[in-house]
Amino acid sequence: MNTVDRIKEMLETLKIFSETSNGVTRLPFTKEAELAVSYLKQKMEEAGLEVFVDASGAVHGIRRGISPRKIIIGSHYDSVKNGGAYDGIAGVVCAIEIARILKYETLFYTLEIIGFNDEEGVRFGTGFFSSKAFLGEWDIEKLKSQYDDKNISIYDAMKNWGLVPEQLINIVWQISKIRCFMEIHVEQGPVLEKEGVDLGIVNGIVGMRRYSIKIFGRADHAGTTPMNMRRDAMVAAAKVIEHIEMAAQKYLGSVATVGSCIVSPDTVNTVPERVEFSLDIRSINDDDLYAMEQDILIYLECVAQERNLTYEIQTKLEVEPAQMDKRLRAYLRDSILRLGYSSVSLNSGAGHDALPISRKVPTAMLFVPSKNGRSHCPEEYSKPENLAKAVQVVINTLKKINNEEDINNELS
């Protein structure tokens, strides 16, 4: 069995671990996630790695090198609801295959493969759970204050899954002991396929803001309450949501999405008393991200005052835009050229574990084309042949890093 076949086999098996038959639904701290972790552990062990699951639910495989300083490769194993079989998990599978190929080679740096937990943030509205844990950005109060739609907190979900939240402090990275982080990921967009290239080298990743917004009005009878006497939360939400679209269009390359909306009391003959909706805004430019955020929040305040309503905003996620490491990008580009593959450089409009990690650790990302640019849907697909090319590129890059000049400093 070759690399392409092994990648196909692992991805075909992993997509079975889903709550739904229509696409992949694998949320954090669930039975489906547990099955995926068990399978990943098995494959990591077969690749000759020392395997363990940490306090965040991330699964690790370690291959000791001459130096304890690490090169980390990984991506996430969770999914969105009714998503695809490639987002995140393809990068974990590729990382395992890299370790398998290098099983009997002498490495200077220790190689660590990680399957991150809850990058998507679908269940609790947060995201980057494991990667932020590695950076020491969670505390017990935060874990107890973030809930899913069944009113289960992250803290309780972790405990129900057999984890000890208080132990998160023990998995915070010692940054000086990490040489770099690399992530293989499907593009989730149309650029690479349109350009007809094998791979994409990521220049930067957009910054993100994610909020839960609640607008409060008053429930009244739909037939007996005159229009000019209503405090309709739904009409206000509709005006704000329309403005969100217009605000995003003011800033080139910026996007804004309202992907979830809950109306209460949710009956046909009652004026809505409360509307809760999500807001996700993204931009590669930090100034544009801030300006868009302020534009939307100021408009929300104006609508609330005009209509005698109140509102609450809960910040779920704040991550600044990030640039990938220039040296690692050059290494990837050189490896691609030497292997005879084609590539372009591009920014990522999606968030990845590489985004928060890049603030502390030299980081690089390699994209694989997505068929028709589709992602976060059952139609998501990337060719295993292109994933295998990404594997070979990263292997060559690893060898280059393991032979670089600053190894002399490690030995002194």
CB distance 289 to 321 below 8 Å: yes
Residue 218 is assigned to a ligand binding site: no
Residue 352 is assigned to a ligand binding site: no
Distance CA 47, CA 99 (A): 6
106 by Cβ neighbours in 10 Å (0-12 / 13-18 / 19+) ranks as: exposed
Specify the DSSP element, H or E, that contains 355: helix 354-357
Residue 87 is assigned to a ligand binding site: yes
Distance CA 118, CA 127 (A): 6
Residue 210 is assigned to a ligand binding site: yes
Q: What is the dihedral of CA 91, 97, 103, 105, to 10 degrees?
A: -80
- Within 15-88, where are the H helices? 31-46
- Listed residue (2, 1, 8, 31) closest to 18, CA to CA: 31
Question: What number of other Cβ atoms are within 10 A of residue 202's Cβ?
Answer: 24
Which residues are registered as beta bridge partners of 52? Answer: 60
Specify the DSSP element, H or E, that contains 247: helix 233-249
> 322-323 and 274-283 as β-strands: parallel, antiparallel, unpaired?
unpaired
Any idea what DSSP says for residue 321? -
CB distance 152 to 116 below 8 Å: no
> 343-348 and 199-205 as β-strands: parallel, antiparallel, unpaired?
parallel
- Listed residue (106, 93, 80) closest to 19, CA to CA: 80
Helix, strand, or coil here: 201? Answer: strand
- Listed residue (393, 402, 333) closest to 94, CA to CA: 393
Residue 243 is assigned to a ligand binding site: no
- The first and second tokens of residue 97, run together, are 């295959």
- The first and second tokens of residue 293, run together, are 């955020």
CB distance 352 to 185 below 8 Å: yes
Residue 7: C-alpha distances to residues 65, 75, 178, 278, 385 (Å): 25, 15, 27, 35, 9
- Write out the binding residues for Zn(2+): 76, 87, 120, 185, 376
- Write out the binding residues for allantoate: 210, 269, 282
- Write out the binding residues: 76, 87, 120, 185, 210, 269, 282, 376
